[in-house]
Structure formats: C-alpha cells, structure tokens
C-alpha cells in the first residue's frame, strides 16, 4: 500500500484522514505522505522513497530521527513500566536539570503537550493576578485551548474573534490580539485596560507565521510594559526552548519572563510540555496553591527519560554552532539562487530555523506573512518533495535543520532548489 492508498483508508475512519489538520496538505494540495521510519536526517515513506526531512516532526527532533542513545533509554525505561501515575526519581532529576539549565526557573511542572503547558500558564496568570483578560499576538500559535484559538477582532481594544467553531465568544472576548512586533499596540491596550490584563503571552521568536524575529526592543518593551501594568509576561518557548542553545531564548537574551512554557525538544520526540518560573509564581499551582492542574500521564517516565537524554546530549555535544552554520548556508543559498533566478522570495533564518517567504520584502507580522504568495510556496513544497526533501506542508510554518543534517544534505537541497521554475 502506498501513501495515497493509506490516506484513502484513513479518511474513512479519521476526520480528514489526519490527527492534526496541517498534515492533510490543505495548504499545499496533493496527497499527504505516509512515513514509515526515520534515522538521522532521513525518513522512509510508504511509497518506498527516502526523503531528507527538514520538518523534524515540527521541532522536537533537533538531534534527528531515532538517535541511538534516546531510543535505548526509551526502551530501557519502557521495560521498567510505562506509567505509574505516581512519583519517580527521574522526574525530580529532570526538573533539577531544567532548573539548572534555565537559572530563572526555580520550579517546573510537567504536562503532556505544549497546549496543556500554555493552558496552565494562562490559568496560573489569572489565578495569581485575579484578572481575567490576556493579550496575545496575531499569528502566534499557543496550542488549541479555547482562549488561544483567537484571531484579531474588529479593533485593537475589543476582544478577539474565534478562529475555530466551538469556542465560546465569552472566552475570545477575554483575549486582546495585537500585531506581532507592535509594542505601541500593546501599550495602548494596557493603558486602556491594564487593570484587567492578567498576562501578555508571546512566542519570543515567532514560528507559526513562518519565522519572524522580534524587532529590537520589542521583548524588552513587553517586559517593561507588563511589569508596569502588574500583568505577567509569558514566554511560549515550545519551539524556541533549547533551540538556539542549551537553555531558553529568554535566558540567552537576558529577558526574564514570569512564566515560560516548554515542549517539543524537551521531550526528545515523546509527548511532553512544561511550565516553569520562580518559586513565588509556581507555588500558586496545586497542591501548594489554589490554581488547579493535573494529569494521568504528567511526568510520564518514558517521556521524561527521552527528554532528559536529549537535554544531556545537547548540553554535552552542543551542536548549536554546527546547526547555525548549516542553517545559514541553506538560507544564504536560497537567497542567492532566488536573486540569480529573479524569484520573488527571501529566506528568513535563525539558527536551524528557516522559512522561505514568497515575497522579497521582510516579514514582521502576520499581515506581512499573509501577503506572501502561497501558490508559489505550494509549488516550491512539491518541487522539493519530488526531489526528495520534506519541508513543512504550509507556508506559515518554520522548517528545521537538525544536528543530524550534513553539509552534503544542504548542498543537495540547494541543487534541487536551483531547479525550481522561475
């Protein structure tokens, strides 16, 4: 059976044939690829083809697929029991490691996904401040909890509108949506409604409208504005955490958010999420404090073992410079070829993260990203797929170079990209 046949079967029993919408290829058209196995930078498909993977399961696989040490520790841990719903020594060790690598965090609570981490972070901020509303940024994705499936509303000072059916208007009314990188917009909302705002939540480097870096002073401005308004600052580092160095982006940048959420890399490919902050903040969580949070599989031993091994390998091997060099070579190559061929695009890149935006002008926010040519992105996606490269099947995502990629993979990618029709 090939991918098309599996998809036909899946569509009968899984809504849209997929367990997460973007996998349906709606953004690029065509039939989704079915993956069979992965090792290092490569995946094998049900079509009998081999692809070099630049999606990396949307971010967790900074060390590549099926890294031996991680697979070994997962197998060993699983053999000792898949879940206990009780405490394990590994959880304490993992929390110790996280709080050592992220000195601003005194305490950390483990959950099973990034969505759960953010949901808890927002509840925690509400519980601490006694305020109801939050500010988020257009184009930042924070998982699929009700309060965060919000698009910009009719005006800055009205609550947002739902970007999904089934979300109560009461939930979205409590969320203001500002353009990313627009500090003045946040200051305006805080000025008008500051005493109602529990938190401002932001991806410090945005990865869900393609890769968009914070403008100079944007994050520092958010830190100052939230502190002045008595609101908490939440850095959603589900993508950013451990991406550019063995710590959070906030720590590297010297900007101390009140609450940080983590996921993806810290689970090494297993389901995990985390919320961390100072002891004073984290002590509001049950059972110490009144903000409830729980989970049957929270702190799952297999996920913790995979995450712990991943962070240890990142700390000990520090592949970050290599990943940065490869990422830059890839983006520089794309930009050079685009220039030579007169293609209307530019590639944004930071460390191993990159997004080819199909317009020449820089992208600072969601409106800019929406102005890119999505048809041209779809043509690029399928061209690269046909040549053996898997990139995110959406123009609003970030692609990833991992430590398992080599200079040869990058050269091969660029050789294929060079053949893209102008």
Which active-site residues does the annotation give? 141, 236, 264
The CB density around residue 335, as the number of other CB atoms within 10 Å, is: 17
Residue placing its CB nearer to ligand PLP in the complex, 77 or 113? 113
Phi, psi at residue 409, to the nearest 5°? -60, -40
Give the tokens for residue 265: 């890399």
Token pair belonging to 254: 């010297």
Beta bridge partners of residue 354, listed in sequence order: 349, 399
- For residue 350, what are its two tokens? 């930071």
**Site for ligand PLP contains 120 (CB under 6 A):** no
**Which two three-digit tokens encode residue 263?**
């996921």
The site that binds ligand PLP (CB under 6 A) totals a number of residues, namely 16
Cβ of residue 110: shortest distance to ligand PLP, in angstroms? 13
Residue placing its CB nearer to ligand PLP in the complex, 206 or 343: 206
In angstroms, give the least distance from the CB of 397 to ligand PLP. 9
What is the per-residue DSSP string for 156-212?
TTS--EESSTT--HHHHTTEEEEETT-HHHHHHHHHHHGGGEEEEEE-SSB-SSS-B
Give the range of 126-134, 232-240, 319-327, 337-345 binding ligand PLP by CB under 6 A.
232-240
Tell me 371's DSSP state.
T
Taking the least distance from each CB to ligand PLP, the nearer of 147 and 413 is 147
Assess 115 for contact with ligand PLP (CB under 6 A). Answer: yes
Secondary structure of residue 356 in the 3-state scheme: strand
Query: If residue 261 lies in a helix (H) or strand (E), which one and from where to where?
Result: strand 259-262
Near ligand PLP by CB under 6 A: residue from 77, 88, 113, 162: 113
From first CA to last CA, the distance across the chain in angstroms is 35
Nearest distance from C-beta of residue 231 to ligand PLP, angstroms? 19
Residue 236 interacting with ligand PLP (CB under 6 A): yes
- Judged by DSSP in three states, 48 sits in coil
CA distance 396 to 380: 14
- Options 22-30, 41-49, 139-147, 316-324: segment touching ligand PLP (CB under 6 A): 139-147
Between residue 17 and residue 76, which ones bind ligand PLP under the rule CB under 6 A?
58
Residue from 62, 102, 118, 212 touching ligand PLP (CB under 6 A): that is: 118
Q: Whose Cβ is closer to ligand PLP: residue 35's or residue 335's?
A: 35
Q: Does 238 bind ligand PLP (CB under 6 A)?
A: yes
Q: Give the per-residue contact string, 192-221, with ligand PLP (x = CB under 6 A; - = no).
A: -----------x---xx-------------
The per-residue DSSP string of 96-124 comes to: HHHHHHSTT-SEEEEESSHHHHHHHHHHH
Q: Residue 333 or residue 352: which is nearer to ligand PLP going by CB?
A: 352
**Pattern 291-320, ligand PLP, x by CB under 6 A:** ------------------------------
* Residues lying near ligand PLP in the complex (CB under 6 A): 58, 113-115, 118, 141-143, 203, 207-208, 236, 238-239, 263, 273
């Amino acid at each position: 059976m090939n991918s098309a046949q599996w998809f036909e079967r899946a569509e009968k029993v899984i809504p849209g044939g997929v367990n997460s919408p973007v996998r349906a290829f709606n953004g690029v058209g065509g039939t989704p690829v079915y993956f069979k196995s992965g090792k290092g930078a490569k995946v094998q498909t049900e079509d009998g083809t081999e692809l070099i993977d630049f999606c990396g399961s949307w971010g967790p696989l900074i060390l590549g697929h099926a890294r031996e040490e991680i697979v070994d520790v997962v197998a060993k841990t699983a053999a000792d029991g898949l879940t206990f719903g009780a405490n394990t020594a590994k959880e304490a060790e993992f929390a110790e490691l996280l709080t050592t690598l992220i000195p601003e965090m005194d305490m950390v609570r483990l959950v099973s996904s990034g969505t759960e981490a953010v949901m808890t972070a927002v509840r925690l901020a509400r519980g601490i401040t006694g305020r109801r509303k939050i500010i988020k940024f257009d184009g930042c994705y924070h998982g699929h909890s009700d309060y965060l499936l919000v698009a910009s509303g009719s005006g800055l000072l009205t609550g947002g509108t739902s970007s999904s059916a089934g979300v109560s208007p009461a939930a979205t009314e409590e969320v203001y949506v500002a353009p990313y990188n627009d500090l003045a917009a946040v200051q305006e909302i805080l000025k008008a409604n500051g005493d109602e705002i529990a938190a401002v939540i932001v991806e410090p480097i945005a990865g869900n409208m393609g890769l968009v870096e914070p403008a100079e002073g944007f994050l520092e401005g958010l830190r100052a504005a939230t502190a002045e308004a008595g609101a908490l600052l939440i850095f959603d580092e589900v993508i950013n955490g451990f991406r550019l160095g063995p710590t959070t982006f906030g720590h590297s940048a010297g900007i101390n958010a009140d609450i940080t959420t983590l996921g993806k890399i810290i689970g090494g490919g297993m389901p995990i999420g985390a919320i961390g902050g100072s002891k004073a903040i984290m002590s509001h969580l049950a059972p110490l404090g009144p903000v409830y949070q729980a989970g049957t599989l929270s702190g799952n031993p297999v996920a913790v073992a995979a995450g712990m091994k991943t962070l240890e390998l990142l700390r000990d091997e520090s592949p970050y410079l290599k990943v940065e060099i490869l990422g830059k070579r890839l983006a520089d190559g794309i930009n050079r070829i685009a220039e030579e061929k007169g293609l209307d695009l530019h590639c944004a890149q930071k460390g191993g993260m990159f997004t080819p935006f199909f317009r020449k002008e820089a992208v600072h926010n969601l409106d800019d990203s929406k102005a890119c040519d999505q048809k041209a992105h779809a043509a690029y996606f399928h061209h690269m797929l046909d040549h053996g490269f898997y990139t995110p099947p959406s123009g609003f995502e970030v692609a990833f170079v991992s430590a398992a990629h080599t200079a040869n993979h990058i050269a091969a990618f660029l050789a294929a990209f060079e053949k893209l029709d102008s």
